[in-house]
Structure 1
Amino acid sequence: MRRNAKRGQVETRGGRSLLRTIAGFAAGALALLGATAFAPAADAEDAASSPHVAIAARLAGDESRVRLVLDFEREPDFELHYLENPYRAVIDLPETVFAFPEGSLQQRGLVKSIRYGNSGNARARMVFEFAAPVKMELAEAGTEAEGAIHRMVFDITIIEQEDFSAEVSTSDWPEFVDEDRAEAATPPGDTLKIVVDAGHGGIDGGAEGPAGSMEKDITLAFAESLKAALEEKDGIRVAMTRTDDSFLSLSARVRRARDEAADLLISLHADSIAVRSLRGATVYTLSDKASDAVAQSLVDQENREDAIVGASLENAPEDIAAILVDLARTETRVFSAGLAQQVITSFEGQVRLINNPLRHAGFRVLQAPDVPSVLVEMGYLSNREDEKLLNDEEWRENTAQLLAQSVENYRETILAGRR
């Protein structure tokens, strides 16, 4: 949904073409394609000029005190203003992509309603309406997760009416227009293009279960079920990296996704691991540093397969190899994390998950600079119970439906208008 982009009126993310939205936020990475050298200084300039991304948001509290937590991919400048009749506080931001799930911020305690979106002139706003006069103070601000996330924590408490009115009187920004008065346009009918990657194939059989199941067969059967489930959804088109028992190198899978102009790549796997008791699904996004030892062992195993069959990283395009380490710092990673969280949410309570199911590692198949990508470990063939499930047609169909629903939820998050 797009609201009129006149002064101070909210222009929501849904008003931009989905393809242009994702492509725009991967512009820094795309500029590297075809290059033969890595230019970190230029990348830093691109990152500084690109929109900020709000990765996560949380609200907790009651009728007397509320805490707001916002996570950004890098530190944004902001201004805080107040309005009355009704009581409101406005966080004024640089242009921002609100990439957290739709339901992250809901009415709670003092907070009666929340609206957010771009407000034109490369700016964005978050508007909070309260049941009483309040003071909104930045309690904490700092970097988490080795520099990957900038966290801002606001404490919201009740104050006297005269104190609130004093805050309003110092909020001198006449360009503000209440976005509730803006007319909404018709949402665009953009289509999401998904590339489903059935891991392994041909000479590369992948893992083998205790009962003899081959990973390449498991992933192809699941990919076909997922393709069918996705094609039932409106606004989604699907392509597959392979439709038979053929071998594709990891770099070829990446190129296939880019050649298809994919909006998302979902790579399906069912690996083996030394810990035979470990079972359940896991969702991985790309990082140059693995989140844990299990992730590192799997990425070593997967990336080694190309070398075993004679398709080493040296055969990959120079531009892809050059940006592998830097990719984890681009906006593409943020969109990948958004999709991964949607998958975890759809699986919870329906599909068994391992502890801490959202992980990251340097999987080569996830390295496309302009295609948000996730790798889904549907289970572990090294575990007998998981092997039984992975071969169960009913389980496969139900799980494919859940995964397809997570993609649809992701699409709606990208396209939905913010109120």
Structure 2
Amino acid sequence: MSRLFAALILTIWGSAALAQDFSGLARVDATQSRIEDSRTGAVLSLSLSQGVPWRAYTLDAPARLVLDFREVQWDGLRADDFDRADAASQVRFGGFRPGWSRMVIDLSQPMTVAQAEMRILPDSGAAMLKLDMAQATPEEFAARSGAPRDPRWDLPAPSLSDAAPPRPMGEGPVIVVLDPGHGGIDPGAEHDGITEKDLMLTFARELRDVLRRAGGFDVVLTRDDDRFVSLERRVALAHEMRAHVFLSLHADALAQGQAHGATVHVLDDEASDAATRLLAERHDRDDLLSGVDLNGQDDVVAGILMDLARQETEPRTERLARSLVGGLQAAGGPVNRRPLRRGAFSVLKAADIPSVLIEVGFLSSPRDAENLKDPDWRLGIARGIRDGLVQWVADDLARAGLRRQ
């Protein structure tokens, strides 16, 4: 799909469109935008106040249509504002990274893009984007799907060749990377008008302040505003910052509604209880729904080196998690009755950085939701995490001489 559809979009854009100097932000007119069933599949019509560079492609597992735009304003719009047919089960849109916007449509059946064009009205400059989708077999859809790689749209491919190793612990401040979950197009869990992405960004800033006041910590956030950051990029940022520790912060929701209290998760591809498995699938699915391809194969040598690094990192991560649980308990929690859990979270897969995922609470729990909205309660939890980190740093430094150099 990537080669075929990249060629299609380049034809649609044309060199003149690429060179056109669009100014300001394009606004979406939801009243003139819709997704309709058609005899052969579906038709997407998107009305914009002006023409902008754009591209579209499909992704598999789950089946979805992804549209990227340069400078589109979504403020004030809701997914329910768009009339949609049976062909579209869900619509998402929002910021992808600064200056770029994304719309993701979950498809109820495999459909490929048969025709696509953006028409510009010469008198007003307004634009209408129209995509005709045609039904396809699962095999045909999978074969034609994939994210195109284009330097005009994508960030440079991540490279770790220039990344220096972390400064040894004890030689200067401990570098902590805080990762407020979700962001931009991906709101995370939602409850009573509050989104997980906003709540965790607020908490990450509060925790950053608590750690800085404690002394001995340099703190970096993977995002400091409402933007989408892929799971892969979050891990890459930790490497770029030469982090000593990585904390991913969440306040999720489980449909069963049975999860209560804080939990700390460490990476384990095998041991995963049902709740942790659901959370891991949810977090990774959020990334997939935003059109990010996390697939990649390590060669044999890189795999061996990472396995060696994990032999040193895993016991340190285990002690980090237990120390954080202790800090949360001492702060009054509440913590889950099984506070330490293991699962296959992609965001924890840095082989050389102790990394944990903290579910500060669950928005699906009424008690936790009320706690999470309370600034005083969050401050207590931030102090508990601080105390757990301080204890872990002291313990890790004491054990440094025992580790293989």
Flag the 1:240–1:381 CA change in 2: closer, same or farther, 3 A: same
The one-character-per-residue Cα deviations of 1:36-61 (angstroms, maximum 9, x if unpaired) are xxxxxxxxxxxxxxxxxxxxxxxxxx
Query: Are 1:324 and 1:367, in contact at CA under 8 Å, matched by a contact in 2?
Result: no
Question: Which amino acid in structure 2 is aligned with residue 369 of structure 1?
Answer: A
CA distance in 2, matches of 1:388, 1:322: 44
Alpha-carbon distance, 1:412 to partner: 1.2
Alpha-carbon distance, 1:328 to partner: 9.6
Alpha-carbon distance, 1:304 to partner: 1.0
Alpha-carbon distance, 1:289 to partner: 1.6
| 3-state SS of 1:256 partner | helix
The one-character-per-residue Cα deviations of 1:282-319 (angstroms, maximum 9, x if unpaired) are 000011124311111110111111110000212x6847
Flag the 1:417–1:344 CA change in 2: closer, same or farther, 3 A: closer
Match of 2:250? 269
CA distance in 1, matches of 2:257, 2:337: 15
Q: How does 1:42-57 map to 2 (within 5 A)?
A: none
1:311 aligns with 2:281: no
Match of 1:412? 394
Q: How does 1:11-50 map to 2 (within 5 A)?
A: none
What's the C-alpha RMSD, in Å, of the aligned pairs?
Answer: 2.9
1:352 aligns with 2:295: no
The one-character-per-residue Cα deviations of 1:3-27 (angstroms, maximum 9, x if unpaired) are xxxxxxxxxxxxxxxxxxxxxxxxx
Flag the 1:331–1:393 CA change in 2: closer, same or farther, 3 A: same
Higher relative contact order (CA 8 A, sep 6+): 1
Match of 1:291? 272
The structure 2 residue matched to 1:334, chosen from 315, 320, 335, is: 315
Question: Which amino acid in structure 2 is aligned with residue 360 of structure 1?
Answer: R
Match of 1:237? 218
Query: Are 2:329 and 2:335, in contact at CA under 8 Å, matched by a contact in 1?
Result: yes
1:227 aligns with 2:203: no
The structure 1 residue matched to 2:355, chosen from 367, 370, 373, is: 373
The one-character-per-residue Cα deviations of 1:344-381 (angstroms, maximum 9, x if unpaired) are 11112510111211011110110111111010000111
Question: Which amino acid in structure 2 is aligned with residue 341 of structure 1?
Answer: R
The one-character-per-residue Cα deviations of 1:73-121 (angstroms, maximum 9, x if unpaired) are xxxxxxxxxxxxxxxxxxxxxxxxxxxxxxxxxxxxxxxxxxxxxxxxx
Query: Are 1:229 and 1:400, in contact at CA under 8 Å, matched by a contact in 2?
Result: yes
Question: Which amino acid in structure 1 is aligned with residue 234 of structure 2?
Answer: R
Give aligned-pair identity as a percent: 39
Query: Are 2:235 and 2:350, in contact at CA under 8 Å, matched by a contact in 1?
Result: yes
Unaligned stretches of 5+ in structure 1? 1-32, 35-186
Alpha-carbon distance, 1:277 to partner: 3.5
Flag the 1:234–1:335 CA change in 2: closer, same or farther, 3 A: same
Flag the 1:322–1:212 CA change in 2: closer, same or farther, 3 A: farther
CA distance in 2, matches of 1:259, 1:317: 21
Alpha-carbon distance, 1:188 to partner: 5.5
Flag the 1:325–1:214 CA change in 2: closer, same or farther, 3 A: farther
Match of 2:185? 203
Match of 1:190? 172
Query: Are 1:286 and 1:328, in contact at CA under 8 Å, matched by a contact in 2?
Result: no
Flag the 1:281–1:324 CA change in 2: closer, same or farther, 3 A: farther
Question: Which amino acid in structure 1 is aligned with residue 374 of structure 2?
Answer: D
The one-character-per-residue Cα deviations of 1:126-164 (angstroms, maximum 9, x if unpaired) are xxxxxxxxxxxxxxxxxxxxxxxxxxxxxxxxxxxxxxx
Question: Which amino acid in structure 1 is aligned with residue 356 of structure 2?
Answer: V
Alpha-carbon distance, 1:248 to partner: 0.1
Alpha-carbon distance, 1:405 to partner: 1.3
| 3-state SS of 1:288 partner | coil
Query: Are 1:287 and 1:328, in contact at CA under 8 Å, matched by a contact in 2?
Result: no
The one-character-per-residue Cα deviations of 1:153-197 (angstroms, maximum 9, x if unpaired) are xxxxxxxxxxxxxxxxxxxxxxxxxxxxxxxxxx96532110000
CA distance in 2, matches of 1:214, 1:370: 32
The one-character-per-residue Cα deviations of 1:220-272 (angstroms, maximum 9, x if unpaired) are 01100110011012221111100000100000000000000000000000111
Question: Which amino acid in structure 2 is aligned with residue 220 of structure 1?
Answer: L
Query: Are 1:203 and 1:309, in contact at CA under 8 Å, matched by a contact in 2?
Result: yes
The one-character-per-residue Cα deviations of 1:56-75 (angstroms, maximum 9, x if unpaired) are xxxxxxxxxxxxxxxxxxxx
Flag the 1:188–1:384 CA change in 2: closer, same or farther, 3 A: closer
CA distance in 2, matches of 1:389, 1:301: 23
1:253 aligns with 2:222: no
The structure 2 residue matched to 1:343, chosen from 324, 327, 332, is: 324
Question: Which amino acid in structure 1 is aligned with residue 261 of structure 2?
Answer: G
Flag the 1:218–1:188 CA change in 2: closer, same or farther, 3 A: closer
1:385 aligns with 2:367: yes
CA distance in 1, matches of 2:272, 2:394: 29
Count of aligned pairs: 234
The structure 2 residue matched to 1:282, chosen from 243, 258, 263, is: 263
Flag the 1:328–1:199 CA change in 2: closer, same or farther, 3 A: farther
Flag the 1:357–1:188 CA change in 2: closer, same or farther, 3 A: closer
Query: Are 1:336 and 1:373, in contact at CA under 8 Å, matched by a contact in 2?
Result: yes
CA distance in 2, matches of 1:331, 1:248: 28
